[in-house]
Amino acid sequence: MIVLGIETSCDDTSVALVAEDGPLLEKTALQEDVHSLFGGVVPELASREHQRLLGPLCRALFSQSGVSPGELGAVAVARGPGLLGSLLVGLGLAKGLCLATGAPLIGVNHLHAHLLAAGIGQDIAYPALGLLVSGGHTQIWRMASDLDFTLLGRTLDDAAGEAFDKTAKMLNLPYPGGRYIDLLGQGVSPDHSLYPRPHLDDPGLDFSFSGLKTAVAEHVRKRPGLRMADMPAPGDPFDPGLADPETRVACASLNWAVADTLRIKLTRAARLHGPFASLVVAGGVAANSRVRSMAADLADRLRLALRLPPLALCSDNGVMIAHMGRKLALAGFRHGLDVDAIARGKKIPWDYKILS
Strand pairing of 353-354 and 333-334?
A: antiparallel
According to DSSP, residue 287 is labeled: G
What is the C-alpha separation between 184 and 265, in angstroms, rounded? 26
- To the question of whether residue 123 is assigned a binding role by annotation, the answer is no
Q: What is the CA radius of gyration of the chain?
A: 20
Task: Say what the alpha-carbon torsion angle 161, 166, 170, 171 is, to the nearest 10 degrees.
Answer: 20
182 known member of a binding site: yes
Is there a binding annotation on residue 107?
A: no
The 3-state secondary structure of 236-252, one letter per residue:
CCCCHHHCCHHHHHHHH
Q: Does the annotation place 316 within a ligand binding site?
A: yes
Which residues contact residue 79 at a Cβ distance below 8 angstroms, ignoring those fewer than 6 apart?
87, 91, 107, 108, 109, 110, 339, 340, 341, 342, 348
33 is in an annotated binding site: no
Residue 351 known to bind ligand: no
- Flag whether 273 is marked binding: no
| Distance of alpha carbon 6 from alpha carbon 18, whole angstroms | 11
3-state secondary structure of 333: strand
Residue among 84, 98, 110 at smallest CA distance from 4: 98
| Cα 336 to the center of its chain, rounded Å | 27
Is 136 among the annotated ligand-binding positions? yes
Confirm or deny that 133 is annotated as ligand binding.
Answer: yes
CA 275 to chain centre: 26
Annotated binding residue at 191?
no
Q: Residue 314: name the closest of 180, 205, 161 by CA.
A: 161
Annotated binding site for Fe cation: 110, 114, 316
Binding region for substrate? 132-136, 165, 178, 182, 288
**Residues annotated in a binding site:** 110, 114, 132-136, 165, 178, 182, 288, 316
